[in-house]
Amino acid sequence: MTDRPDMAGAPPVEKPRSPAAEAFEMFRRNHAAVAGLVVLIAVIGIAAFGPLLYPEDPFMMVWTPFSPPGEQGYLFGTDYLGRDIMTLMIHGARVSITVGLAAALVTVTIGITVGALAGFFRGLVEEALMRLTEFFQVLPTLLFSMVIVALFGASLPMITLAIGLVSWPAVARITRAEFLRIRELEYVAAARAGGVRNGRLIFRVILPNAAPPIIVQAALMVGSAILFEAGLSFLGLTDPNVASWGQIIGANRPYILDASYTVTVPGIAIFVTVLAISLVGDGLNDALNPKLRAR
């Protein structure tokens, strides 16, 4: 009888972790990204639950104009009309976050559609779609969005659509590049040889594998959309019946030398929120990059 080797002292074999677990661990070790995520969750929490906990009307005059922060219990003071800036900030967070997320969704939807069709079908389809992409890419984005809002109205849905219409070329180019790379891989050729239809190839085979850089770009587009909305609101191209951070800055800009806090507080909120989104986007880029995970 052959003696069997004693395996009692052998070190345990670690089970290979899934790519999702590796990505999560990579993101967790990025302290800047985690800090950005915490800040972003806090801002989203304020936008979602702040109006419920602080239900005052943001446009109601509550005290004398330009009351400094802390006076009469108003944490951020009052603006030029005597409105509570704290209330305006809470309601403005909901508008800014909602517009940012919705505009990013519109951007990603258009960009993925154009980029996927261009990268998959090639030929005349790619040529036509990429010329369309270049046309939108060379347009001055802020000016183009201002024209759209001025022509069709300054409602929040129109502002969201305008931001999405001027921001999709970057997503389209990233999607096209990923489709051009993945469509030539062996598993795609095997699926094609097995009779898989084009629609299933695009949405079930190639797109899931092209998702990581698109997810990163989508996260960054939320910050860009918030800045766009703030810029349009600052210029007065927004719904006057809706409070947003950019609208607060635009309404109080003539009094910046007399009451700088009326502009500084929403400006800091925009800066911190966009910075948090950028940190999360950078963390996702590192976590979803297989080359960085392999280090």
Q: Please give the structure tokens belonging to residue 20.
A: 């999702």
Q: Please give the structure tokens belonging to residue 127.
A: 């040529």
Q: Is the pLDDT of residue 17 over 80?
A: no
- Burial bucket for residue 156 (CB in 10 Å: 0-12, 13-18, 19+): middle
pLDDT tens per residue across span 61-94: 999 999 999 888 888 999 999 999 999 999 999 9
pLDDT tens per residue across span 111-132: 999 999 999 998 899 999 999 9
Residue 9: pLDDT band (50, 70, 90) is low
Q: Is the pLDDT of residue 269 over 80?
A: yes
Homologous superfamily assigned to 39-293: MetI-like (1.10.3720.10)
Q: How far apart are CA 55 and CA 58, in angstroms?
A: 9
Collect all residues with Cβ–Cβ distance below 8 Å to 209 and sequence separation of at least 6.
Answer: 178, 182
- Burial bucket for residue 124 (CB in 10 Å: 0-12, 13-18, 19+): exposed
Mean pLDDT of the chain: 87
pLDDT tens per residue across span 131-152: 999 999 888 888 889 899 888 8
| Overall average pLDDT of the 169-177 stretch | 94
End-to-end CA distance of the chain: 46
Higher pLDDT, 271 or 292: 271
Which letter, b or e, does each residue of 24-37 get, where b requires 16 or more Cβ atoms within 10 Å of its Cβ?
Answer: eebbeebeebeebb
Segment (H or E) for 79: none
Domain residue spans of the chain: 39-293
61 beta partners? 83
pLDDT of residue 42: 95
